[in-house]
Structure 1
Amino acid sequence: MIYFEDLQVGSETYFGSYDVTREEVLEFARKYDPQPFHLSDEAAAKTHFGRLAASGWHTTAMTMAVIARYVVEDEQAGLGSPGIDELRWLKPVYPGDTLHVRGKIIETRPSQSKPDIGSFRTETTVTNQDDVPVMRFTSIVLIRRRPTED
């Protein structure tokens, strides 16, 4: 189990990859972001996207799927997140892309009010198969501290 005390500022993690499919782009858009350039090749061709593009929120959800799988498999003592800062969609994501998710710990902080919890901030960068950054954000994560023997 990975606890707060195991984290080091500056350490980097490769969380994994995600293959973006046309079917999933369309399904997500129909349910959550039904803008024409997420639903139609013809409509997307008339925009700066040039072709069908994934919703930024879909890119965020695919990224979360990669991170969550990693955290569960790596058995971290995570307690969720109170939020993210500075979310930026840098480039379009298209069906056929493969997303790669990496994180770098930029800060750790023990809780002042809850001695059994700490938090850390991670700068997460998502790149496509050409190593071009498509999304970046900073997340705040809560994590348990290592239990002490009484």
Structure 2
Amino acid sequence: MSEIVYFEDVQVGDRNEFGPLTISREEIVAFASEFDPQPFHLSDEAAAGTHFGSLASSGWHTTALSMKMMVAEWQRNPGIQAASLGAMGVDELRWLQPVRPGDTLRGVSEVIEVKASRSRPEMGIVKTHITLFNQRDEPVLSMKPIAMFRTRPA
């Protein structure tokens, strides 16, 4: 196992890349069918009469795919996952471009704030800015997750 990346090891400006992941028509429709069954997420025909023009992934699906890619990267570098204590939420979630069948997504995460917890000395708070890009390097998602990291044992 790689060395654990504790809260004290994280600095503003640290960057991490994750992905790539290609999304299929079947995945888009399956997610939408269960979690966001709006017509423009279910068929090209229904989407044709909207601003999408053709099938587009649910923004919630795109957000879930970002988590899937990040966790896959953490599993390749278990030191990060070992220090993770989950998240407190997400600020400024934006879906910037539709994600289409066949798009290949990749992400970049940059630490924008680190703060020691006043009430829980065993953890610190790490805020990152995450951007997902498609294969044309167009940003498709932007968000600022607020995560909790384990502090180094005394």
Specify the alignment match of 1:63 in structure 2.
Answer: 66
Specify the alignment match of 1:81 in structure 2.
Answer: 87
Runs ≥4 residues deviating over 4 A? none
Alpha-carbon separation, structure 2, partners of 1:53 and 1:25: 7
Which of residues 138, 142, 150 is equivalent to 2:148? 142
Corresponding letter in the other structure for 2:48 = A
Gap regions ≥5 residues in structure 2: none
Q: How does 1:1-150 map to 2 (within 5 A)?
A: 1-75=4-78, 76=80, 77-148=83-154
Query: How many residues end up aligned between the 2 structures?
Result: 148
Alpha-carbon separation, structure 2, partners of 1:28 and 1:69: 19
Corresponding letter in the other structure for 2:38 = Q
Q: By how many angstroms is 1:19 displaced?
A: 0.7
TM-score, normalised with respect to structure 2: 0.93
Alpha-carbon separation, structure 1, partners of 2:67 and 2:37: 21
TM-score, normalised with respect to structure 1: 0.95
Alpha-carbon separation, structure 2, partners of 1:28 and 1:114: 37
Task: Indicate the percent of aligned positions where both proteins have the same amino acid.
Answer: 51
Alpha-carbon separation, structure 2, partners of 1:18 and 1:101: 10
Q: By how many angstroms is 1:11 displaced?
A: 1.5
Q: By how many angstroms is 1:136 displaced?
A: 0.1
With 85-94 and 44-53 compared, the bigger mean Cα shift is at: 44-53
